[in-house]
A = this chain, B = another copy of it.
Amino acid sequence: MPSFAIGVDLGGTNLRVAAVDDSGKLLEKVTSGTEVGKGRDQVINDMTTVILELAVKFQDAGKLAGIGVGVPGIIDRATGMLRESPNLPGWHDYPVRNEIEKRLNAPVVLENDANAAALGESWLGAARDHDSMCMLTLGTGVGGGIVLAGDVWRGMTGMAGELGHITVDPNGPPCGCGNRGCLEQYASATAITRMAKEAIADGSAPELERAAHANVEFSAKSVYQMAVQGDEPARAIFRKVGWALGIVVADLANIFNASIYVIGGGVSSSWEAFAPALLEEVRKRSFVYNATTPPDSSGKPGSTIVTRALLGSDAGLYGAARLGLVTAPAPSKTRA
């Protein structure tokens, strides 16, 4: 009997719920705005209402294998608590899993959104032919996910995979995590905007300055558009993004010797602007990458691949559904 799962991607902006069958086929996806202002209980109500609607709608399509929910921030897998979430203010120490389970009267699997995205790309996206992978999700911050031998590596307390906080430059800009010079300070949308403002402030980027004045919504995307148009200060910012990503991907190649490293998230749509610097840096810095990547065959089996994500903003949704399909949920489960 075929089965399907329901995956949820609870973002600070959008709430997305999908029914996905066990072959990875999307049965239906429901997207709505996350009404953070109405409070967390209302958001959970909205979510569970859609989950129940999809569960009923597809009850003849097969067995509902499970429900997976990806949430931004730091979760405690043992208790199902959301510890901290920059994108969901007011959700600090909120028992997300229990609140969802109470309304559904069914167990759910909770996962960090970056881990869910890695699992999604691993199941159906850029890494679908690979056993193990690391994914960097470049958004407002930089998330990370590690899939080893098919399963998300979660570590002792579910906090593994914080690849956005690998140190790029020990004397670099301070990061909200307490460290300095984290990848997130170079490769997030926030960092791109900051670097553009720095360049404007020191007078070295007149075109960026004009663009920033003309556009109240000046953002990383604006900087990318300037880079595409050939503006040198904007291009230099994306070379810095690539430089930092290259240092971290080189670290990851030396650590994991995985067959693929995937770059996703909104900023990855600027791939053309940062990829050359990224790949050059990885080649300069990782002998493991070089030993496994002949210059003329970067896509051959057995060689290490560094590539863009394929599922776009749906990666986390598919990953959450995957968790519903493969995980036997247990509300009080702890991981060693």
Whether, in the assembled complex, A258 has its beta carbon less than 8 Å from a beta carbon of chain B, the answer is yes
- Number of A residues near B (Cβ < 8 Å) is 50
Q: Are A257 and B154 in contact (CB under 8 A)?
A: yes
A250/B167 in contact, CB under 8 A: yes
Q: Quick check: is A59 within 8 A (CB to CB) of the other chain?
A: no
Residues of chain B with a CB closer than 8 A to A250's CB = 167, 179
Given contacts A179-B285, A286-B179, contact A292 B247 (CB under 8 A): no
A257 touches B155 (CB 8 A): yes
A247 touches B156 (CB 8 A): no
- How many monomers of this chain does the complex have? 2
Assess whether A157 is in contact with B256, with CB atoms less than 8 Å apart: no
Contact A291 B159 (CB under 8 A): yes
- A100 in the interface, Cβ–Cβ < 8 Å? no
Would you call A160 an interface residue if the criterion is a C-beta within 8 Å of the partner chain's C-beta atoms? yes
Set B153, B159, B170, B256: member contacting A155, Cβ < 8 A: B256
Complex: how many Å from CA A304 to CA B154? 14
How many Å from the CB of A22 to the closest CB on chain B?
A: 23
**Which of B161, B169, B304 sits near A255, CB closer than 8 Å?**
B161
Pick from A146, A162, A254 the residue with the most CB of B within 10 Å: A254
Cβ of A148 under 8 Å from chain B? yes
Could you tell me which A residues sit within 8 Å of B by CB distance? Answer: 74, 83, 131-132, 144, 146, 148, 153-163, 165-170, 177-180, 243, 247, 250-252, 254-259, 284-288, 290-292, 302, 304, 336
* 20 A-B residue pairs with CB within 8 Å: A148-B148, A154-B257, A155-B256, A155-B258, A156-B257, A156-B259, A157-B291, A157-B292, A159-B292, A160-B257, A162-B254, A162-B255, A162-B288, A163-B254, A165-B286, A167-B250, A167-B251, A168-B170, A169-B169, A252-B255
